[in-house]
Amino acid sequence: MEMSALWKLSYGMYAIGTLDGERPTGCIVNTVIQITSDNPVIAISMNKNNYTYDCIKRTGRFSVSILSEKTTQNVIAKLGFSSGRDTDKFDGDIFAWEYMDGLPVVNENSCAHITAEVITMTEMETHYVILARVQDAKVTSDYNPMTYKYYHEVIKGKAPKNAPTYQAPEKITDKETWACQICGYIYEGDLTKEPEDFVCPICKQPKSMFKKQ
Amino acid sequence: MEMSALWKLSYGMYAIGTLDGERPTGCIVNTVIQITSDNPVIAISMNKNNYTYDCIKRTGRFSVSILSEKTTQNVIAKLGFSSGRDTDKFDGDIFAWEYMDGLPVVNENSCAHITAEVITMTEMETHYVILARVQDAKVTSDYNPMTYKYYHEVIKGKAPKNAPTYQAPEKITDKETWACQICGYIYEGDLTKEPEDFVCPICKQPKSMFKKQ
């Protein structure tokens, strides 16, 4: 079996939001699909180890923020590169967010927000497939939705900058930037001016883990 | 609720193949996702009215052909614009196909082929969510997988031809072509030279339903 055949499937990039008690938490997933059109049902797939899954199981509710090609790596790093077990993913000023129907949604250049209520969860070896009824949905911009392919090839820099679809995130085009080599967090400005005990606000790595871009 | 928010979800374009007794049949779907990575499981969503679903229910097996940006509209029209109840979707010479593990797969500029065995089917109002264990998978080309967005905006001509990602299918770039206004089938050459009783090989509409492109 050529496992790489499965890499040809097309996915998007989504921020899932839910509540851990009163604390907002969430994660990044690639798989959100619409199942039925009237009174719509969506399906998402989530790794069992994901703390967000535990919280969705308790609350029975979650939000989906559809990320766009203009969403910065910092949103994905903050929500996707650490666990909600030991970090507050919605703290600080890394990205803009708000509550929609009591659930956290990402405002940072998102395309749309959806809130949904769990119908069933089906367990597979490593993942759960969650079917959920859409409660509310709104369009937040007309930016192009970010595909996983775009994230992989353009945002993570694995494609040349002159690829036809390349469009650098607005915030970092004409400023000096430093990238955390662990989580991808982008620091804007002259990092050398930060004190020696500066740490990455997302993954808490020291200054030495940053490289100038 | 703004239903158009749901249109921002990202999908691919896939040909599903199965057997109706010994007769190959299939359809086009947008939603195939990988659920688990080791001993992989995939999920697909399929409308209940789809004859392919009835056949998958009987055989417990199906194939997925991942279509590419070079897959012609004729493949999608032939598999997606009629029902396997009353047409043989794999007859004629509309597109190239073969058997893989006894199931029909599309060779016409596909990216990859997957065969899978059904684990569970979950019923929603209008659709079934089918979870299936991957039996075999192979890469068939390095073409870009076709996204639903690409199909919608480029292949169906709803985006200008000079959109940055536009790439006309190879077969029709420098020939006279006529498009069936019902199913989108592309006729190559001078249609006026065909006899008056010519009908679209896919949807059986008369010659008068074609427009020169």
- Kindly report, residue by residue over A96-148, the tens digit of the pLDDT: 999 999 999 999 899 999 999 999 999 998 899 999 999 999 999 999 999 99
| A129: closest chain B residue by CA | B35
- Alpha carbons within 13 angstroms on the beta-carbon side of residue B212 total 6
**CB-nearest partner of A129 from B40, B131, B134:** B131
**pLDDT of A164 higher than 60:** no
Does residue B1 lie in a domain region? no
ipTM topping 0.90: no
Q: Answer whether B120 touches A (CB < 8 Å).
A: yes
Give per-residue pLDDT as tens, A70-94: 998 888 888 887 788 878 889 878 8
Cβ–Cβ under 8 Å, residues B102 and B112: no
Q: Answer whether B124 touches A (CB < 8 Å).
A: yes
**pLDDT of A175 higher than 90:** no
**pLDDT of B68 higher than 70:** yes
**pLDDT of B89 higher than 70:** yes
pLDDT of residue B156: 63
Check residues B15 and B209 and name the one with the higher pLDDT: B15
Q: Answer whether B70 touches A (CB < 8 Å).
A: no
- The stretches of chain A forming alpha helices (DSSP H) are 51-59, 73-80, 148-150
User: Which residues constitute the domain of residue B185?
Assistant: 174-212
**Total number of domains in chain B:** 2
What CATH number has the domain bearing residue B182? 2.20.28.10
| Chain A / chain B CB contacts < 8 angstroms | 150
Inter-chain touch A9–B66, beta carbons under 8 Å: yes
Span B82-87, average pLDDT? 80
Inter-chain touch B114–A5, beta carbons under 8 Å: yes
Does residue A191 lie in a domain region? yes
**pLDDT of B103 higher than 50:** yes
Q: Answer whether B172 touches A (CB < 8 Å).
A: no
A136, exposed or middle or buried, with CB in 10 Å at 0-12, 13-18, 19+? middle
- Same structural domain, A204 and A137: no
- Same structural domain, B106 and B72: yes
Nearest-CA neighbor of B48 among B122, B140, B99, B146? B122
- Same structural domain, A62 and A102: yes
Q: Answer whether B114 touches A (CB < 8 Å).
A: yes
**pLDDT of B165 higher than 80:** no
**pLDDT of B167 higher than 70:** no
Does residue B50 lie in a domain region? yes
What CATH number has the domain bearing residue A116? 2.30.110.10
Does residue B57 lie in a domain region? yes
Inter-chain touch A41–B124, beta carbons under 8 Å: yes
- Same structural domain, A145 and A58: yes
Cα dihedral across residues A160, A161, A164, A167: positive or negative = positive
Give per-residue pLDDT as tens, B195-209: 988 988 777 778 888
Residue B106 has φ and ψ, to the nearest 5°, of -85, 125
Q: A161 CB contacts (<8 Å, ≥6 apart)?
A: A168
Q: pLDDT above 90 covers what percent of chain A?
A: 55
**pLDDT of B182 higher than 80:** no
